[in-house]
Amino acid sequence: MTTAPSTYRVPLPETLIGLLGKRVIDLPAAELDGGLLHEDVSAAYDRVRAESPEAQILVRRCRDLLNDPDGDGFAVLEVGPLLDHYGLDDGQKAATIVLSWLGRPLRVFDKWPLWKPLGTNLAIDPMRATGSGYNPLHIDVVNTTEPPDYSALLCVRPDPRGKGHSLVSQLRRAVNRLSEGERASLAEEVFHDGAFYDLTGVGREYDPFPVLDGRPAFAGFVRFTAKMLPGMDLNDPHTSAVRALERELIAEQKKFFLGFGDLIVVNQHLCVHGREALGERQEEVPEAQRRLLWQMFLRTAGAEA
């Protein structure tokens, strides 16, 4: 298995793990206000960061990885010790506290809790997030006026078959390698993907949308999702432009295995993510043992902050 290179990995110091363990019980639960973590709760969580030099170093390291326009736009935090030491419930709360230092936690999907479970469902389209097949490169909640700034995925149970490697690729460099004509096609509001219902904190539905919105990197998005390609006309030049961008993204993508407790955070202004297919014979794996991730989104006051 190939794990994320050490360049992108951010371990939690033992002293910080101990501090979170002491504080997690007394800190308020992750109460929401309009889908966002309540300001009073955010302030309580931030006081833990303020009292810990190790937490402040960790935050600076994550922001360097996530927000460098010349970097790759993702980081992998090693929060397994939080889950090991404090159990899944308190460990999840501790992971929420850590993520709140990077941005304000956001529940996008009204039908799910703050952390949305992404199990493995063999009865649905394999390309979907909870399917077992190849999940192509994309940003999340692409068809909205305000997609989440960061997408976070915490591995609670890796694929016991040892597959399902995560994929990430830097968007802005890939766009720069396209021709002027391809970029012009991608700037037109002609693209469609997904449905819009029961969503909070992501603005309005954007359908059709442009892949390139013409805004600066940390204000706008490259609204790319290869999931829209199967429904596109093969003879349409817009399809050719999307495929050209996909080729550039795949050419530079990084692939690695998320193990237990690996928490990948992706800056959606800079980076797309996806997943290779899970291992074969998933039907022989009991449902309670199949791959399980928890997903959360973050809203930043400005991705450069």
Q: Kindly give the confidence (pLDDT) of every residue in the chain, 305 residues in length, as a single tens digit, with 9 standing for 90 and above.
A: 566 778 999 999 999 999 999 999 999 999 999 999 999 999 999 999 999 999 999 999 999 999 999 999 999 999 999 999 999 999 999 999 999 999 999 999 999 999 999 999 999 989 889 999 999 999 999 999 999 999 999 999 999 999 999 999 999 999 999 999 999 999 999 999 989 999 999 999 999 999 999 999 999 999 999 999 999 999 999 999 999 999 999 999 999 999 999 999 999 999 999 999 999 999 999 999 999 999 999 999 754 33
pLDDT given at position 1: 54
Residues across the chain: 305
pLDDT given at position 303: 40
Alpha carbon distance 267, 65 (integer Å):
9
pTM above 0.85, yes or no: yes
| CB atoms closer than 10 angstroms to residue 110 | 11
pLDDT given at position 32: 97
CATH class of 6-299: alpha beta
Tokens coding 215? 């805004």
pLDDT given at position 140: 98
* pLDDT tens, position by position, 42-55: 999 999 999 999 99
pLDDT given at position 305: 33
